Chain A
Amino acid sequence: MEVIMAFVIGFLFMAAVYLMLSKSLLRIIIGTGLLSHGAHLLILTMGGLGGSAPPVLADGVTDMADAIPQALILTAIVISFGVTAFFLVLAYRAYQELGTDDMNLMRGTDEDDE
């Protein structure tokens, strides 16, 4: 099971890197979304996919899933959610001000602004 997950995560990372190397800003943000999905799935997988019950105390359950990776993922999800929201609004503002979403046109030094 872990091997299959490793392949899936590797595929997600590949797609994320490909998208982040493209010109359009929105494709880059979609890439960061895929990257964080990959990272979160990786935490889950690396914690081990053993355990037959959810990590909730109940009578007669002895074989529970590892609770720590789930807590880590939950934290990482809200953080990446906040950052992504900020990034999307920033992209919107940049589109309004700069009039482009092409990263190639967003080059330049301070001399260009004056």
Chain B
Amino acid sequence: MAKHETPLLDQLETGPWPSFVTDIKRQAETKPECWDILGILELSYEDRITHWKHGGIVGVFGYGGGIVGRYADVPEQFPGVEHFHTVRVAQPASKYYSTANLRQLMDLWEKHGSGMTNFHGSTGDIILLGTRTENLEPLFWDLTHDMGQDLGGSGSNLRTPANCVGQSRCEWACYDTEECCHHLTMHYQDEIHRPAFPYKFKFKFSGCPNDCVAAIARSDVAVIGTWRDDIQIDQAAVKEYVAGNYPANGGAHSDKDWGPFDIQKEVIDLCPTECMWMEGDELKIDNSECTRCMHCINVMPRALRPGLDKGASICVGAKAPILDGAQFSTLIIPFMKISKDNEFEELIDFIETIWDWWMEVGKNRERVGETMQRVGLPTFLSVMGVEPIPQHVKEPRSNPYVFWKEEEVEGGFERDIIEFRKRHAA
């Protein structure tokens, strides 16, 4: 495969940011089909339209997903990308690697594919970009037999779960996000590999409300760490912050002069529930009014820590706009203990209750968030066996279209018009 003229793409080799064009060109030195990646992309830049055909159904035996098939619509011009399938490979929790593992994976991909990758896909998978249909089974064989790694998810199934780095490198993680993500991934291999759902379904695990894996926005079940006792305060460290000896926010704003640290202005006045105050040089928190937004902890990490009674809030139903509008997840369980001691039993029960219901009532290609909208939150809660509580809503409904169950209404719904007319003549 020959080199193509790529005047438009060449412009993207200038500037300080790492250039994907330079990287592809370097790879093309050893993998000539990569010239065709640049060629077809240049053509798209010229034509302002994609040159990939619609869809593509390829895979490996035994699995219903994991590989996204793709074919060029100009294969004669760019034979190197005639087939350009994407392989999703399950990533380790938090994406920690050894070079040995990555070298082995790259050797495999040089052998069976283009050598181009995406580290990582938005859902978390390692993405191997571009190979031919006949290479899929050999690649899968080597991946599983030589490396002990598996494919990720695609299709109407459980997609590859992901987590924030959690307790491995963060003082705020309220549960072991990595252990939880790994355990549930292993527990639900069948649901990941063989599509059985009305539509896709995602888990994400964040250790605290900072939500570094964006669980609230990008997963159908978001497990977000929190605590329910008091924030731990180290008053000596608070004094160090006030004295200017510790940088606020771990020094995150040190590239600009924001003046000396002002605890009143930067912490107390910014607390969303106004539940903090100074008594002399002691910082006080009315924890019963704290919504655990993380702000004060984020500003003074050396002085403040999450409480000791830790767990997670479970939110359900986030999705992108299609079909009926974007949604964040909505709070269903304010606090759940997340523990590997019982193999995350409570969380697994919760997830399976959703699935049992959604697999039955969910319409074709309806995300669980849309099913919830369609049946209404009260119905969803009763399906889940969860008692409605004020924390389930941001505000009560403002319209009066309130449904009652017949058993809640004295006398029921069976009424006789003749009885009514005896008292109210027409």
Chains A and B are bound partners = no
Chain A interface (Cβ within 8 Å of chain B)? none
Chain B interface (Cβ within 8 Å of chain A)? none
